Structure 1
C-alpha cells in the first residue's frame, strides 16, 4: 500500500495555520490536521464527504451571530 497524497485547499493560505489536509483513498476521503501530520487521520466515505462539502458550501455550518 502506498502512502496517501495529502493536500491543502488553495483557500487555506491565510488561515494562520488552522488547516486540515485531505487525501483520496479508493473508497474514502482521509483528513488530518496539517500541524500534526503524524497524528490521527479521520476517514469518511465519499458520499458522506460530498454531503459535508455541500453543507459547507450552502453555509449550513456558519456561525450565527
Structure 2
C-alpha cells in the first residue's frame, strides 16, 4: 500500500502514527495516514478494519 521509501510503519506497529499524511481535515478534527489509520485531534484512532482505539491518557504535570 505505501510507496514511500522507507516504507511507513504498518497500522499495527507501535510507531504507526509516524506514517505519511495523506489527507488532513482540521476543521473536522481528523487526518488520514498512509497506512490507513485515521487519527483524531483528541488522540483517538480508527483502524482500517473499523476498530477504534481510545485516546491515550495524558499524564498531568505535577
Short-chain TM bin: 0.3 to 0.5
Q: TM-score, normalised by structure 1?
A: 0.32
Q: TM-score, normalised by structure 2?
A: 0.33
